[in-house]
Amino acid sequence: MKKRKIGNSDLHVFPIGLGTMGMSEFYGETNDEQSISTIHKAIELGVDFFDTADMYGWGHNEELLGKALKGKFCQIILATKFAVLRGPKGEFLGVSGKPAYVKQACEASLKRLGTDTIDLFYCHRVDPQVPIEETVGAMAILVKEGKVRYLGLSEVKGETLKRAHSVHPISAVQSEYSIWTRDIEEANMKECRELGVSTVAYSPLGRGVLTGKFNKIEDPHDFRNYLPRMEAENFETNKQIVRKVEEIAESKNVKASQIALAWVLAKGEDIIPIPGTKREKYLIENLEALNIELSHNEIYELDQLYRLVKGSRYSDMSLTLQ
């Protein structure tokens, strides 16, 4: 399987990575044993790009990855993120891109992960109170110290990326990108490609909706209950998108999730989707998307579905492109 290069780095990874957020919170019940088994299965199947963040599960996710990847760091590329602040009860306290906090966050992540170096270190969200140049300047010091290999940003506009890149090369921008979330095509994709920065696509399955596996959210603790696109009226409209994806999937005798991933993969070799899952079954299903080739007409049909989307990505739009 041909690997995909992460921006201006020397990192080459399997075309589909694994997002691990749901292994610690946000998507209902968690099970560490099951999650570790899924991580090990991913490595067995060739997946070598894993994504986490310090705020997932108040640090639990990094500790989980550290446990699962012990003795295996030489086989994989690990990305983590900092900036989102949380209180002792999980409450969100804003973001920080202050230089002193950048260093503090990195040290804490290294300790939880049980490693000496982070391959790709992202600023999870831009701090509106701190110039991006100052945040990236502090991140660049971590590279000089050998604690971080390459730098990334998440949820940034093209102009912000250019300012950051002028301080230190940015290798990847992590953005939500899927059949029903395409903001970045206008917000930063042009700048990413001009600068040779890869796009790491999170939620390529539309928060799981594009899998067609559920009609409503059963778990009251599932954070999708609070997303505008999941509100009753919006969700009913957005199911039209799922039905069209399912039609194309049925015509190819594959699953809707695989069509959704194949669409992202077809958008360019500089795009690396990182679908998240806690279960081996869905991990295997996701990787089979690599065997699907979409025709130009099918891609065009899927492109049109974005026009049907009803509802914003987040109720708090400060969490989006800055």
What DSSP assignment string belongs to 239-253? HHHHHHHHHHHHHHT
Q: What tokens appear for 52 in the block?
A: 């986490």
Catalytic hit among 56, 101, 122, 177: 56
- How many angstroms separate the CA atoms of 237 and 297, rounded? 24
**Among 167, 172, 169, residue whose Cα is nearest residue 184:** 172
- How many angstroms separate the CA atoms of 283 and 311, rounded? 28
Q: Check: CB of residue 57 under 8 Å from CB of residue 27.
A: no
- Residue 45 identity: L
Locate tokens 């000089």: which residue? 144
Please state, in angstroms and as integers, the Cα–Cα distance from residue 182 to each residue in 76, 131, 307, following that order: 29, 26, 10
Torsional class of 28: left (φ above 0), alpha (ψ -120 to 50), beta (otherwise): left
- How many angstroms separate the CA atoms of 293 and 314, rounded? 32
How many other C-beta atoms can be found within 10 angstroms of the C-beta atom of residue 252? 15
- How many angstroms separate the CA atoms of 34 and 202, rounded? 22
**Among 219, 136, 220, 229, residue whose Cα is nearest residue 176:** 229
- How many angstroms separate the CA atoms of 182 and 186, rounded? 8
Residue 56 catalytic? yes
**Among 322, 316, 271, 314, residue whose Cα is nearest residue 131:** 322
- The residues that are catalytic are 56
